[in-house]
Amino acid sequence: MSQVKFLLQVLNNAFGLIIIQRDTLLHFFICIFVYTTIPRCTIFSKQANITLTMKKLILSVLAAFFSIGAFAQKDNKVTIGTIDSIQSKILNEQRKIWIYVPNSGQVDSKQRFPVLYLLDGDAHFYSVVGMIQQLSQVNGNTICPEMIVVGIPNTDRTRDLTPTRVDADPPFMDSTLSKTSGGGEQFAAFIEKELMPHIDSLYPTEPYKMLIGHSFGGLTAVNIAVNHTKLFNSYICIDPSMWWDKMNFLKSIKKSITEKNFSGTTLYLGIANTMDESMDITKVQGDTSGETRHIRSILDLDKYVKGQKQNGLRYESKYYSNDDHGSVPMIAEYDGLRFIFDKYRFKLSFKDFTDSTVDLANKYEQHYHEVSKLFGYKVYPPENMINGWGYEFLQQKQYDKAGQFFKMNVNNYSESSNVYDSYGDYFLAIDDKLKAIEYFKKALAIKENPASRKKLNKLLE
């Protein structure tokens, strides 16, 4: 999929009118894809001429056309994740966890991913996973990174997602609903001491972590962001229930926001329109009725956070006048991801793709150097994407450029058999048989595979 992904990135970022003139099967399939998905295109393609070094790329492209826009398929079912479980000693119960791992994180891949933890996981898992895939993979998008999604379904929502114990808090919470309230600190301890170690031990995780919560989940996200700040790198808090405990919890949060240093932390706040038609965003702030306490408490938080420039928090908020409490999560999640990862996107031009003088490999390295600053640790360009560029420039006979990309992958993913096999293809293409033999042997030393073995045996004849 990666070879198509980076080409689609070019198409997505660079073209309104597309003219492709190539002699390979790769471009034939790309032309078909563009013709069927992008209107008003002018496409030219000549008869295919398949070379040995392009076979791997062509197979990847063929596979991609069956997988673009889809999740894993097994037994004629579309599957977007798995259900894991963990026995919690802190909560004294078995907890089910919904897990999505990007397609790039399959068994043989050495790529690792940031992790998005999602509260009310059973309610928002499908939409958030689809959004992450759309923004990180589909149509060549690199708006946000590919991410593992950990959905946390509820067992006792009021217990886990409220920070303090209350008897009642009308008009939103009566004494029956509030009986188990106030378990938020225990729930935060469960995430930190049990869930996170479990996820890190079983899945290909990177250190970067994000938390998303809505309503009571948003209240929990605010609580963790302020009182357990370093547990996550970034937070999306959507229409949080800041009215909790007659707004006494809001008072304590404001005090902590003033006193703490939030450098390195990012928070996005989405605010829904929960007012009746007689109110507007200005008038409601002077209202004192219980019915408006929800939005007033969030607006109060928003105004206060914006006034605390000294605490180092990277912050943005948005009021969604056309969305209520129920409809706001999806658009706020989208905008929050765009804000948090505003420097992640790698933009390509048509010149990057066609001009042999452009040092595209260096452009990638410089971009991911900046991304690494954002994440707080070394982030490498995705293995499959870089491999795809290598084969594309190999086909174009831009050998120096191709070699730079293959070498970049060898440097970044030294435990991957595939990067050595691909570098061997490069040396085979430039007729350096000794180097080709060396790298095919390195690939096979990591993992035996028929393709590398066949190429090596042919060279040794």
Number of folded domains that form the chain: 2
Note the pLDDT tens digit of each residue in 359-400.
999 999 999 999 998 898 999 988 888 998 999 999 989 999
> What's 180's domain CATH number?
3.40.50.1820
Backbone angles phi, psi at 403, to 5 degrees: -60, -35
Pairwise CA distance, residues 411 & 323, whole Å: 48
Structural domain ending residue among the three candidates 315, 340, 365: 340
Residue 61 has pLDDT above 80, yes or no: no
Same domain, 15 and 100: no
Same domain, 60 and 106: no
Residue 186 has pLDDT above 60, yes or no: yes
Task: Residue 401: give the domain boundaries.
Answer: 2-68+346-413
Q: Which residues on neighbouring strands pair with residue 73, listed in sequence order?
A: 78
Residue 459 has pLDDT above 60, yes or no: yes
Mean pLDDT of the chain: 85
Backbone angles phi, psi at 83, to 5 degrees: -105, 115
Helical (H) or strand (E) element with 389: helix 383-395
User: Is it true that the peptide bond before 171 is cis, omega within 30 degrees of 0?
Assistant: yes
Same domain, 18 and 41: yes
Has residue 383 been placed in a domain? yes
Q: Which residues on neighbouring strands pair with residue 236, listed in sequence order?
A: 212, 268
Confidence class for position 6, pLDDT limits 50, 70, 90 = very low
The token duo for 17 is 């009118």
Has residue 439 been placed in a domain? no
Same domain, 309 and 407: no
Helical (H) or strand (E) element with 119: strand 113-119
For β-strands 82-88 and 93-100, DSSP reports them as: antiparallel
245 Rama sector, left if φ>0, alpha if ψ -120 to 50, beta otherwise: left
Residue 331 has pLDDT above 50, yes or no: yes
Same domain, 83 and 221: yes
Same domain, 399 and 264: no
Confidence class for position 11, pLDDT limits 50, 70, 90 = very low
Structural domain ending residue among the three candidates 396, 413, 430: 413
pLDDT at position 419 is 94
% the chain with pLDDT above 70:
83
Note the pLDDT tens digit of each residue in 415-451.
999 999 999 999 999 999 999 999 999 999 999 999 9
Burial group, residue 177, by CB count within 10 angstroms (0-12, 13-18, 19+): middle
Has residue 73 been placed in a domain? no
The token duo for 364 is 């990638």
Spacing of C-alpha 174 from chain mean position: 38
Question: Helix 450-460 crosses helix 433-446 at what angle (to 10 degrees)?
Answer: 150
Note the pLDDT tens digit of each residue in 200-259.
999 999 999 999 999 999 999 999 999 999 999 999 999 999 999 999 999 999 999 999
Same domain, 88 and 225: yes
Same domain, 237 and 329: yes
Has residue 431 been placed in a domain? no
pTM score over 0.85:
no
Amino acid at 276: D
- As a whole number, mean pLDDT of residues 105-117 equals 79
Structural domain ending residue among the three candidates 293, 317, 340: 340
First to last CA, the chain: 33
